[in-house]
Amino acid sequence: MAIRLGRAILLAGIGLAAAPALADDLREALVMAYNTNPNLQAARAQQRAVDAGVPIARSAALPTLSGAAAHTEFVKRSASTPGGPLGGPERATTADLTAGMPLYAGGAIKNSISAAKTRVEAGRADLRATETEVFAQTVAAYMDVILGQAVVGLNKGQVGVLEVNLQATRDRFEIGDLTRTDVAQSQARLSLARGQARSAEAQLVAARERYIAVVGKEPVNLQSPPPLSGLPADVETAVQVALDSNPDLIAARQRSKAAGFDTAASGAGRLPRVSVFAGADYTDYHGTLGGGSPLVNQSATTGQAGIRASIPLFQGGLPAAQRRQAQAREGATLEQEIAIERQVISGVRAAYASWQASREIIESSQSAVDAAKLSLEGVKAENTVGNRTILDILNAEQELLNAQVQLVTAQRNSYVAGFNLLAAMGKAEARDLALDGGALYDPVANYDRISGNIWDWASDPAPKPQSTRTVDTKAQDGTVTPK
């Protein structure tokens, strides 16, 4: 039983369609995380907020229309008021309507819009990075549960073997074939094995709880994962793909471009601004002007239109300071882009090395398991003729267990390292994995929906959580169902 559990991770070629009912496969776990993980849902909401930056920036280039109204009671009138104390109005109602539109703003509006659009592109890359991170966490949690189950099974099997050994040792001690020391050694190893099994169960509980936190449901009879595709033939290929596709690097490049637009916009404070305006005003004195004389107009309407230009001459160095500030921030983003590029290159190379090493460790661990089995059989055979002691058998059994645990750990590490390599290359997103859990989230759809909306009273529904909660899941235990 323990050996079958230990080898389960090797069966990556088993088709997912063959999974039995009430079982989870890796594809289902990824789909559920894609649809319900709170970190990913939050990143999508954050991207929608970034999308709103474009219509906000564009609004500065559009016409504005405003109105105002006021009613005034003149409780005290000055003698200098036209018409004297008796001729001035007692009350007045005024209303005005004003429209305006910028014609030239020194490039500030145009560059602000370009910066907002570029940040939308950066945000989409950030969303891709979050999606990749959630998938990497899902794969690691999935494989940790499989590994934990295998290790628990191996340790439980070891406990069973040592229990049989202890009983056999006691039987042989009763007939004088072995000493009390042999019994004590068997008892000590059994106690250690029980402690290791309990520790393995605790680690399995932690792995299952991590799975729930990432995926949103309890792991049920996890199936062997499908083989990974798209892994590079060499590290140079992996690095080149990452330089073109890694979402963190793409986001950094877009932020550098956006900072360049910010720098260009900051220089507009030194340039002229030109706008057109129009307005209409209405005043009603309610028959109180000029003592209410019919010869005096009790209302007035005016209208005006024109073009306005302003030329800044001196602003205390403000425009220069703003431009220097923007240039410094642009320089920071350029340096950050190089830093992220370094991290991507380093991360890809490290992931490739880890993946290659784990594959070699699998081969050596498998050889160690095969050799440990032969060694255990030989030691047992030699013990029957008196050439080996009970301690030799116990050591051989422990070496076999260690080799088996190392093998299943290497198998887990190999799969996770391979997926992490794909993630570092920018090739571990939903579109790359061909997930079939429904339509994929399209951040462009929200942008297209809101980018051209100029209605001031447009609004989205009140936000509600999209991710699932896990308060109703039961606390996990370290039990493993025998296969």
Contact 406, 368 (CB under 8 A): yes
Q: pLDDT at residue 79 above 80?
A: no
Average pLDDT, the chain: 89
**Confidence at 93, pLDDT banded by 50, 70, 90:** very high
Burial of residue 387 (CB within 10 Å: 0-12, 13-18, 19+) is exposed
Question: pLDDT tens, 186-216?
Answer: 899 999 999 999 999 999 999 999 999 999 9
**Residue 50's beta-bridge partner residues?**
none
The fold of the 2-63+107-271+323-450 domain, in CATH, is: Outer membrane efflux proteins (OEP) (1.20.1600)
Question: pLDDT tens, 390-419?
Answer: 898 899 999 999 999 999 999 999 999 999
**Residue 97's beta-bridge partner residues?**
67, 280
Question: pLDDT tens, 246-258?
Answer: 999 999 999 999 9
Q: pLDDT at residue 21 above 60?
A: no
Which stretches of 408-457 are assigned E, i.e. beta strand? none
Where residue 435 falls (left for φ over 0; alpha for ψ -120 to 50; beta otherwise) is beta
What pLDDT shows up at residue 480?
Answer: 87
145 or 15, which is more confident: 145
What does the domain layout of the chain look like in residue ranges? Answer: 2-63+107-271+323-450
- Phi and psi at 68, nearest 5°, equal -145, 150
Q: pLDDT at residue 80 above 60?
A: no
Mean pLDDT value across residues 316-331: 95
Mean pLDDT value across residues 18-39: 79
What is the H or E stretch that residue 100 is in?
strand 91-104
**Confidence at 483, pLDDT banded by 50, 70, 90:** low
**Confidence at 20, pLDDT banded by 50, 70, 90:** very low
What pLDDT shows up at residue 482?
Answer: 72
Question: pLDDT tens, 257-297?
Answer: 999 999 999 999 999 999 999 999 999 988 888 766 777 78
What pLDDT shows up at residue 437?
Answer: 66
Question: pLDDT tens, 461-479?
Answer: 999 998 999 999 999 989 8
For residues 366-379, b (16+ Cβ closer than 10 Å) or e, as one string?
Answer: bebbeebeebbeeb
pTM to 2 decimals?
0.87
Which structure tokens are listed for 442?
A: 């399209």
Cα–Cα distance, 323 to 331 (Å, whole number): 12
What pLDDT shows up at residue 352?
Answer: 96
Burial of residue 90 (CB within 10 Å: 0-12, 13-18, 19+) is middle
**Confidence at 124, pLDDT banded by 50, 70, 90:** very high
**Confidence at 23, pLDDT banded by 50, 70, 90:** low
Question: pLDDT tens, 35-74?
Answer: 999 999 999 999 999 999 999 999 999 999 999 999 999 8
Percent of the chain with pLDDT over 90: 75
Mean pLDDT value across residues 429-457: 88
Cα–Cα distance, 467 to 472 (Å, whole number): 14
| DSSP assigned state of 467 | S
Cα–Cα distance, 240 to 175 (Å, whole number): 71
What pLDDT shows up at residue 436?
Answer: 72
Which structure tokens are listed for 262?
A: 């910010």
Q: pLDDT at residue 132 above 90?
A: yes
